[in-house]
Amino acid sequence: MSADAWPKDVARHILDTVDSTNAHAFRLAPQSAGPCWILAGEQTAGRGRRARAWDSPRGNFHGTLLLHPTEPASQVALRSFAAALALRDAFVALTGLPQAFALKWPNDVLLNGGKVAGILLESSGAGQGVQHLAIGIGVNLIAAPDPALMESGAVPPVTLLAETGLRVTPETFLDALAPAYARWEATFTTEGFAPLRTAWLTHAARLGETIRARTGTETREGTFETIDDTGALILRQSHGPVAIPAAEVFF
């Protein structure tokens, strides 16, 4: 299916090799007036959440959207949900397989139950403010990490190619992702988080099921009830619901 037109007033930088697209975004930030997508053929120092190394072979998608937000930091972070929804929209537009994709809290996209994409938000600013936001996105288009290297209980990685037979170039994926994100960004800035929360919950993986949420050294088990208006996970345990703002989730 053809992608929508490239969003108006959004710049685009295509690089062959870079250390990290997020790091490059912050280097561009001082002279960047508006939103900007950065796509790299490969990353030499890609990273995921908690500063973990992110495997970045050629043929996969390594991209970052640079934004200059005006909201308080707590609101800025909610764009991880906009990114997840945009990723799902892009996947569905390219594959025509809406039932195959689900969203895993806090920031992964699943394909047939396996992790196909991840999101990493990083920001820079002064004091409590956020001047620049980098939304880093990695997608396993044709290659995935060795499952044997994943920690016990983690969702196994999958690739778009192996699961669907569809070979998509990173540039083609960006052409679908950028307009999808622009739509959710417009919704977020005009209507707030509520419509994103509703849409995200519609596609949430394991909603209503028992999951484990690990924060540091503590692991809590309970029923994944919802997310609240701050994006926190609401886990129902025997003594009642618990709000968890950040955690690693295991199924």
How crowded is residue 84: how many other Cβ atoms within 10 Å of its Cβ? Answer: 27
How crowded is residue 60: how many other Cβ atoms within 10 Å of its Cβ? Answer: 24
Question: What is the reported pLDDT for 56?
Answer: 67
Question: What is the reported pLDDT for 1?
Answer: 43
Q: Where are the domains of the chain?
A: 11-192, 210-250
Question: What is the reported pLDDT for 55?
Answer: 64
Q: Residue 152: pLDDT above 90?
A: no
Name the burial class of residue 239, with classes exposed (0-12), middle (13-18) and buried (19+) by CB atoms within 10 angstroms of its CB: exposed
Question: What is the reported pLDDT for 103?
Answer: 98
pLDDT band for position 231 (50/70/90)?
Answer: very high
Question: Tokens at residue 174, please?
Answer: 């960006």
Q: Domain 11-192 carries which CATH code?
A: 3.30.930.10
Q: What is the pLDDT of residues 37-77, one digit of tens each?
A: 999 999 988 766 555 555 668 999 999 999 999 998 889 99
**CA dist., res. 233 & res. 237, Å (int):** 12
Q: What is the pLDDT of residues 77-129, one digit of tens each?
A: 999 999 999 999 999 999 999 999 999 999 999 999 999 999 999 998 866 67
Mean pLDDT score of the chain, rounded to an integer? 92
**CA dist., res. 170 & res. 226, Å (int):** 33
Contact of 79 with 85, CB cutoff 8 Å = no
DSSP letters, 186-220, are HHHHHH-SHHHHHHHHHTBTTTTSEEEEEETTEEE
**210-250 to CATH, choices 3.20.20.30, 2.30.30.100, 2.40.110.20, 3.40.50.2300:** 2.30.30.100
pTM: 0.94
11-192 and 210-250, same CATH topology: no
